[in-house]
């Protein structure tokens, strides 16, 4: 039994390691479209940002550093690095990567506003 498990691990583990090492080919977009929700007013707004640009939304500053998407299928996913600052409190409330298809994976935690990525923009 131990020999069988050892043999199985010798086959399965390298196969899994090979899959983990495969990297998705991504392309950097020119910007991104983000959607915002004001929870008190119930209003949504789409904002188009170019890489490096900051947009003001009421008391929030939303800065897009970079947006990436899969080269083979641009419509399938968007990965955007955002920095969001609450001017009223004077602190950064979010900084990191957001995924368009999984916004709950790394969400912004704010009492009034939600922000999530919709897609990257391309040239």
- So where are the chain's domains? 27-121
CB 39 within 8 A of CB 27: no
Q: What's the pLDDT tens digit per position in 52-66? A: 999 998 899 999 999
Burial of 97 per CB tally in 10 Å (0-12, 13-18, 19+): middle
Q: Tokens 């950064």 label which residue?
A: 92
Facing residues of 46 across strands?
35
Average pLDDT of the segment spanning 94-113: 88
Enclosing H/E stretch for 10: helix 2-21
What angle is formed at CA 34 by the lines to CA 32 and CA 36, rounded to 5 degrees?
165
Averaged pLDDT of the chain: 84
- What is the token pair recorded at 95? 């900084």
Q: Tokens 């990567």 label which residue?
A: 97
Enclosing H/E stretch for 81: strand 79-86
- pLDDT of 22 reads 64
Average pLDDT of the segment spanning 99-106: 84
Q: Tokens 């409330």 label which residue?
A: 93
Tell me the pTM.
0.76
- pLDDT of 96 reads 95
- pLDDT of 11 reads 44
């Amino acid at each position: 039994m131990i020999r069988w498990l050892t043999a199985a691990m010798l086959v399965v583990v390298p196969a899994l390691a090979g899959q983990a090492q495969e990297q998705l080919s991504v392309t950097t977009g020119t910007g991104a479209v983000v959607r915002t929700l004001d929870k008190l007013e119930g209003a949504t707004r789409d904002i188009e940002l170019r890489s490096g640009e900051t947009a003001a939304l009421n008391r929030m500053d939303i800065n897009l550093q970079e947006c990436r998407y899969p080269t083979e299928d641009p419509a399938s996913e968007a990965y955007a690095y955002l920095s969001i600052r609450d001017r009223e409190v004077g602190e950064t409330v979010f900084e990191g990567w957001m995924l368009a298809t999984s916004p709950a994976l790394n969400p912004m935690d704010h009492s009034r506003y939600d922000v999530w990525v919709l897609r990257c923009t391309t040239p």
